[in-house]
């Protein structure tokens, strides 16, 4: 259940790592926001055609008030769910956003991020270590899970990027995501195409959740590509 571009991303990341291993000079790799001294800590940031729309989506949700009043757990932590997370290309943008833009204006003590997908891909362990080192108020866990069978833990906000909503099995996954929201929580999906958005809305409605649809502001001043990442942002509050 990976992001559409995840295969190409993983291949590009592996090529970079292979080239670095072959280099005779000491490892001093510039990563996302810091230098990594150990090869096993390296991971490549997402390309602009994914990272740009993602950051624009987060800013839009914040500016429109969707991220206000989110429920916290007993520890005063925001519980963030990232279903079908693929290689978790949300790193480092999501941790940075929470730390720099969301937490300062909230009553939360921190945030716990849970990413799930059917298998581990794209340097999961390195990204968990990166968040632990770089963001002391955040905790990141990336776990393999069958989202058609295993009920997701309850969350304050769910951020599901590129659900393959027209394919077999995805109605169950989307239903699982919607059911995981705490009262007052916010459910977010982002799709490439309107046909996917329509299917997501239909499944969510069958679970009692009305999703509003917005166009990603990232594309307002840019040419629309054939496969626009996160063009449609679907949002609803439980």
Only one residue has tokens 């009262």, namely 183
pLDDT at 39 > cutoff 60: yes
Average pLDDT over residues 195-199: 99
The 10s digit of each residue's pLDDT in 64-87 is 999 999 999 999 999 999 999 999
For domain 6-237, the question of CATH label 3.40.50.300 is answered with no
pLDDT at 33 > cutoff 60: no
Confidence category of residue 42, pLDDT binned at 50, 70, 90: confident
Arithmetic mean of pLDDT over the chain: 89
Q: What pLDDT sits at residue 215? A: 98
Distances (CA, A) of 140 to 65, 126, 135, 209: 24, 11, 10, 27
The 10s digit of each residue's pLDDT in 139-196 is 999 999 999 999 999 999 999 999 999 999 999 999 999 999 999 999 999 999 999 9
Q: What pLDDT sits at residue 170? A: 98
Q: What pLDDT sits at residue 122? A: 84
Burial class (CB in 10 A: 0-12, 13-18, 19+), 23: exposed
Confidence category of residue 38, pLDDT binned at 50, 70, 90: confident
Is 60 in contact with 98 (CB distance < 8 Å)?
Answer: no
The 10s digit of each residue's pLDDT in 79-120 is 999 999 999 999 999 999 999 999 999 999 999 999 999 999
Q: DSSP readout, 190-209?
A: EESSHHHHHHHHHHHHHTT-
Q: What pLDDT sits at residue 41? A: 84
Nearest to 6 by CA among 83, 87, 82: 87
Q: Which two tokens stand for residue 172?
A: 């169950």
pLDDT at 17 > cutoff 90: no
Q: What pLDDT sits at residue 11? A: 52
Is 225 in contact with 213 (CB distance < 8 Å)?
Answer: no
Q: What pLDDT sits at residue 90? A: 98
Nearest to 122 by CA among 1, 11, 4: 11
């Amino acid at each position: 259940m990976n992001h559409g571009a995840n295969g190409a991303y993983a291949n590009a990341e592996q090529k970079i790592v292979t080239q670095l291993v072959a280099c005779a000079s000491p490892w001093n790799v510039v990563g996302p926001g810091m230098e990594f001294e150990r090869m096993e800590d390296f991971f490549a940031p997402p390309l602009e055609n994914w990272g740009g729309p993602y950051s624009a989506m987060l800013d839009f949700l914040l500016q429109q008030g969707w991220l206000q009043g989110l429920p916290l757990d007993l520890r005063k932590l925001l519980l963030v769910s990232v279903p079908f997370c693929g290689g978790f290309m949300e790193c480092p943008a999501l941790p940075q956003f929470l730390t720099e833009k969301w937490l300062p204006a909230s009553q939360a003590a921190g945030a716990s991020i849970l990413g799930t997908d059917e298998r581990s891909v794209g340097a999961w362990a390195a990204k968990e270590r990166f968040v632990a080192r770089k963001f002391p108020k955040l905790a990141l866990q990336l776990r393999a899970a069958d989202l058609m069978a295993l009920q997701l833990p309850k969350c304050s906000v769910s951020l599901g990027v590129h659900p393959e909503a027209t394919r077999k099995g995805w109605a169950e996954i989307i239903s699982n995501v919607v059911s995981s929201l705490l009262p007052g929580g916010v459910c977010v999906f982002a799709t490439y195409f309107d046909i996917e958005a329509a299917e997501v809305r239909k499944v969510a409605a069958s679970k009692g959740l009305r999703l509003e649809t917005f166009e990603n502001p990232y594309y307002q001043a840019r040419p629309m590509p054939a496969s626009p990442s996160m063009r449609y942002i679907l949002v609803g509050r439980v």
